[in-house]
């Protein structure tokens, strides 16, 4: 795949325009300038004004293309957006399951990122991974490492899954689109959500894990370093201690993922290092000066401001 653009997809609705601005800003800032990069924003109802501000936030070089791809939000409304384990997502979470039908047939691979992520590395190394015919590459969820974990696949026994199979977090996925199309991975995941709505916990993430059943390429945790790894205490499911993480991954994460209801751009968030990291990119967008959900300034900061990196 030498010379092929690195292709990244991020999905968001209008309520997530602000963190989306920072997330994509970080992707662009950390990309290698001599490697083609294509970023597709799955717009789940992002307004025209937000699109204007987002586009103005992402000054790019000649090798980078960013475009919006509108998603019919009505097509996502049939599936649940809350459960006994989760209450904060919107229907935009299901947009990643539409990728096989939304993206060009000529695309065989794509990297999917949640919009509540900050990228701190180029994606060259991740893009070159050989998935070996597997549907997906992903990071094992450190707080739900197994299908049978308390916050893993809730109906694993009923479905006949292996409780000891690894379970991944879907905030960063390297997707083998050829396999997804051939094996109808997305369609089967959506059908799983629909048929298990009464017991499902983590929605489309759980459904994907149920379909894959541990058959994925586990990649280094640095590619999806959850914010709670940096908290004073780790709220692992069931009170269990999460698996150890390498010091190198902690010190040099490639993608930081702000999981959970608390976010650096919201009030009540207490991890100051994560706040500084997030706003080092947010302040290079049209949302410069925004703090805790209240916009203090709508003007962008100068483009030569240095970006804080870890």
With respect to residue 158, please indicate whether it lies within any of the assigned structural domains: yes
pLDDT for res 74: 78
With respect to residue 292, please indicate whether it lies within any of the assigned structural domains: no
With respect to residue 294, please indicate whether it lies within any of the assigned structural domains: no
Four-CA torsion 300, 228, 37, 70, nearest 10 degrees? -80
With respect to residue 305, please indicate whether it lies within any of the assigned structural domains: no
Q: Give the pTM.
A: 0.89
CA distance 109 to 115: 19
With respect to residue 308, please indicate whether it lies within any of the assigned structural domains: no
- Higher-confidence position of 136 and 242: 136
**pLDDT class for 306, splitting at 50, 70, 90?**
very low
- Mean pLDDT over residues 28-51, rounded? 96
Taking alpha carbons only, the member of 99, 98, 93 closest to residue 116 is 93
**pLDDT class for 23, splitting at 50, 70, 90?**
very high
Phi-psi region of 260 (alpha: psi -120 to 50; beta: other; left: phi over 0): left
pLDDT for res 215: 97
99, exposed or middle or buried, with CB in 10 Å at 0-12, 13-18, 19+? buried
CA distance 288 to 279: 8
**pLDDT class for 293, splitting at 50, 70, 90?**
low
- pLDDT cut 90: percent of the chain above it: 65
Q: Report the CATH number at residue 77.
A: 3.90.550.10
Taking alpha carbons only, the member of 42, 116, 115 closest to residue 76 is 42
The answer on pLDDT for 25 being more than 90 is yes
**pLDDT class for 240, splitting at 50, 70, 90?**
low
The two counts, helices (H) then strands (E), for the chain are 10, 10
CA distance 118 to 186: 26
With respect to residue 297, please indicate whether it lies within any of the assigned structural domains: no
The total number of structural domains in the chain stands at 1
SS3 state at 260: coil
Burial 110-144 (b: 16+ CB within 10 A, else e): bbbbbbbbbbbbbbeebbeeebeeebbbbbbbbbb
225-226 and 117-119: which strand pairing? Answer: unpaired
pLDDT for res 143: 87
CA distance 150 to 154: 7
* Average pLDDT taken over every residue of the chain: 87
Taking alpha carbons only, the member of 125, 156, 88, 130 closest to residue 252 is 125
- Running DSSP on this structure, what letter comes out for residue 194? H
Find out whether 1 and 32 touch, Cβ atoms under 8 Å. no
Q: Domain span at residue 61?
A: 6-282
Sequence-distant (6+) residues with CB within 8 A of 50 are 14, 17
**pLDDT class for 81, splitting at 50, 70, 90?**
low
188, exposed or middle or buried, with CB in 10 Å at 0-12, 13-18, 19+? middle
With respect to residue 293, please indicate whether it lies within any of the assigned structural domains: no
pLDDT for res 89: 64
Strands (E), the chain: 6-12, 37-43, 64-70, 109-113, 117-119, 136-140, 168-176, 217-218, 225-226, 255-257
CA distance 123 to 121: 6
**pLDDT class for 282, splitting at 50, 70, 90?**
very high
């Amino acid at each position: 795949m030498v010379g092929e653009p690195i292709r990244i997809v991020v999905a968001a609705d209008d309520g997530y325009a602000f963190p989306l601005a920072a997330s994509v800003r970080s992707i662009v800032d950390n990309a290698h300038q001599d490697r083609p990069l294509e970023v597709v924003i799955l717009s789940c109802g992002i307004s025209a004004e937000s699109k204007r501000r987002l586009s103005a936030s992402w000054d790019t070089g000649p090798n980078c293309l960013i475009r919006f791809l509108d998603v019919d939000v009505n097509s996502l409304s049939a599936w649940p957006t809350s459960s006994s384990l989760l209450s904060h997502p919107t229907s935009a979470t299901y947009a990643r399951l539409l990728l096989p039908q939304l993206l060009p047939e000529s695309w065989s691979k794509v990297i999917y990122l949640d919009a509540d992520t900050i990228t701190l590395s180029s994606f060259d190394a991740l893009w070159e991974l050989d998935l070996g015919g597997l549907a997906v590459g992903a990071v094992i969820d450190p707080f739900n490492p197994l299908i049978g974990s308390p916050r893993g696949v809730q109906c694993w026994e009923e479905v006949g899954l292996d409780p000891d199979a690894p379970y991944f977090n879907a905030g960063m996925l390297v997707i083998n689109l050829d396999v997804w199309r051939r094996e109808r991975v997305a369609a089967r995941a959506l059908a799983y959500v629909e048929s298990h709505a009464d017991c499902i916990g983590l929605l489309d993430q759980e459904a994907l894990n149920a379909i894959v059943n541990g058959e994925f390429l586990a990649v280094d945790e640095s590619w999806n370093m959850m914010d709670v790894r940096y908290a004073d205490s780790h709220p692992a499911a069931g009170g269990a201690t999460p698996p150890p993480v390498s010091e190198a991954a902690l010190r040099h994460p490639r993608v930081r993922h702000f999981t959970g209801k608390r976010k650096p751009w919201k009030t009540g968030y207490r991890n100051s290092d994560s706040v500084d990291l997030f706003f080092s990119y947010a302040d290079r967008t049209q949302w410069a000066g925004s703090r805790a959900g209240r916009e203090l300034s709508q003007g962008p900061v100068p483009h030569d401001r240095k970006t804080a990196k870890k």
